[in-house]
Every structure is written in C-alpha cells, then in structure tokens.
Chain A
C-alpha cells in the first residue's frame, strides 16, 4: 500500500501499470476485476512496516524528557545537510503538513509527553490532530533524508531504522506510552487505532488496547 504505480523512480514500470489499467477499456462490459501480472513481494503478509509487538515503552521507561529532546535535536541537526540535499535533488519535500519549523517538532511533541495538551497555534486545527501531523512530519524528515542519502527504497528498513533505532523513534514511543494512559479520549484513540505508531500490521494490538476501533 502506498505504491499504487508499483515502484518510485521507475517510469517504465509505472507506465506499465497505467497501460494495463487503460487496456481494460477494450473490454466489452464492466466493471472488471483483473490482476496485474507482476507482484511485488511483501513481508509476512503485511502492507507496511509494523512495530514489533514487544517494542512497547511504559511511562517508567521514558526517563528525562529534556535529555531525550536534546538527543533528537542533535539527530535532526546531523541529518539536515542530507535532508537539504534530498530536497534539492527531488525538487520537493513532503515535510510540512503541520506548518511547523523542523526545529520545533521535538519540543512540541515533548509537551504531550510531559502530560500537557498545549493550545494549537493553528486556527481551525486542534492540538491533537496537529500533533499527529507533527509526528508524521518528523518521520518524513528522517525517511526523506535517508532514502536519498543512501539511495535505498525499502519500507521495512526505513520503518525499522526510524522506529527502532533513532532517538526520534524513541521520542514517539514515549508519546505512545503517555497516550495509552491518558484520560484524554482523543489521545487514547490515536494509539487504539494505530493512528501514530505503525501497529496495524503487527501480530497483536498494542498491550493495554483491544484494537477494537478497527
């Protein structure tokens, strides 16, 4: 999922998909259901990266939030030259749905980890939906940088790196730990329905939740 035309930066493959779809116009009747002859393998029956079920933080694992934010900022600063190179090369970036400056991602997220629900700086967009956009911007910043810098296109590798190996990933798992014990229904919904951390394709829901929202 997320790869409707099959492969990024592969114009010929993308055109094959389009042509195969348009060729169905030649059929006499419809609707039609037709398989594309080529299949891109997926891992373990899942259509996207999924966090290992055992990789769950509790609130007692979070530690000093200021130190964690500082570590994330250091990580972000280190990635910046490669991120800028990626943007220059591609001529575009998907980072920015939140309209937050990159340097403000981690500090904003950390407020929620501290138990605050800050006032949203964006008119018409409440704080928690904005938080979700900041989280997605943070991940996009990392993965846009890495896919360009290392010339790799591997969603499993990207997910594992970001969520399991980076300080930013740990920051977000800390946010998840706070959310799951939150008495705010929207914060709880974010984790119940895997709207932030990628657990939809995990072998089991986040402990403490039922995944009943799905």
Chain B
C-alpha cells in the first residue's frame, strides 16, 4: 500500500509564547515492512530543525523557537509504501527461552507498564502455558482486550496509570497497547510499544491522530504486530514511526516553553491511499 500521510499539529496561545523547545517523533521508520519514499517537516515559525536517531532507532527532530509567537504549527508529509507480510506459523512459548536475555528490555517493568500486578487475572485472561502456541494466545488476548475495553478519548490522559485504565475499562489506543504489553511481558513474551499511523479507510479506530499498538517477538520471524484497539494483527494499513518500552520512549511530540497561557491544540491527521 502506498500511503500519503499528512499530519498537522497547531498550538494557539492566548498570550505570546517564547523559548519553546520541542522534540518530535513523527517520521515513519524504514524497515522490512515499509519503505519511506519521502518525508517533509514544515514549521511555523520557521526555525532550523536538527535530527538524530534515538536509542531505539526512531528519528527524533528537535527545534527551538526563541522569539515570541502565538501560533506553533508543525506540519509533516510522508509518503510510505507498506509491504504485505507473510503470516507466521504458531510456536510453543518454550521457544522463547533462549531469546529472553537479549530482549530483557522488553520483558521487564517499564515506567508505564509495571509488572508487579497479576495482569492476566486482573484482565480475566489465562496464564500462558509453556507448551501453548503463544501466537494463538496473543491473537486471543488481542480480541479479548478489544471486547473488554471501550474506546473513548478524553477519559484517560497521557499519564493515567495503567491500573486505573484497566479498572475503568475506557481509554484510547495507547492504553490498550500498554495493557496487552503487560500481559505479554508477564507471560515471558518480549513485547514492545509502537507508535505510528493507521489508514482510516479500513474503518479503523485511531486514525484521527497518531496510533499505537505493540509488537511481540517471534524467533525466526521477527516482530509481529498486534493492534488490540482494532482487534487485528498489523497489516498494510499500519505505518510505523518507531518503538520503545512504552509510550515514554516514543511520544510523538514533547515540548517545553515559557509564556503562552493555556494553549488550545488542533490536530489533523489524514492517511490516504495513493494508487
């Protein structure tokens, strides 16, 4: 699929803002599943942009607006080709043993996915058995979480603790992803958080802004993506920006400024399929 992504974030400040530092993680990653044909970033005010790859290989753009401004507009355009992937065959959970140590980062507690709770029981799901086909386990879990939670924005915030979301059962894609990460990791499956875009044409939820899902390790195959928000494995409609242990490692936008008062934010994301 050839996807045209157009993403505009606009901050409007009632009073002049200045000395504004920002970090963006909006550029889709180049990997075996997708090819980035072009990426363009346009800023208003128009200030120089620098970039580097972060620890997880995500492109990070950063810029500084020193002068006073009442509008900060971040516009990105990306043209990405996603490739169809063969689907893996099932594997018993025991094959993971040899792969745990090198991927320990995706198995241990992370700031937003604490592992001191019995997440499977809390979420009404069974524990993974050593000889169980864990791909089927994950597919089942994916559907289970999808039907257990209700998607609604405005209920959880970026920093709502996972336990609170799980108890309330209402949230957005990043909450779904964190919940599934917690069960997968507790069962010994290396799993990482993914930030990206999704093509809305497929009637998927989460297309109005950046989307989030997770990837689990399948030795001999690679990382297989699951999107519990949409009850599906990752397909050509998913365009990945980057991954990390949890949201904190790949926030789309992080900033700090002086002045400005209480801002209003407008976000517009469109993902169109180009023939």
Q: Does A pair with B?
A: no
Q: Which residues of A come within 8 Å of B, CB atoms?
A: none
Q: Which residues of B come within 8 Å of A, CB atoms?
A: none
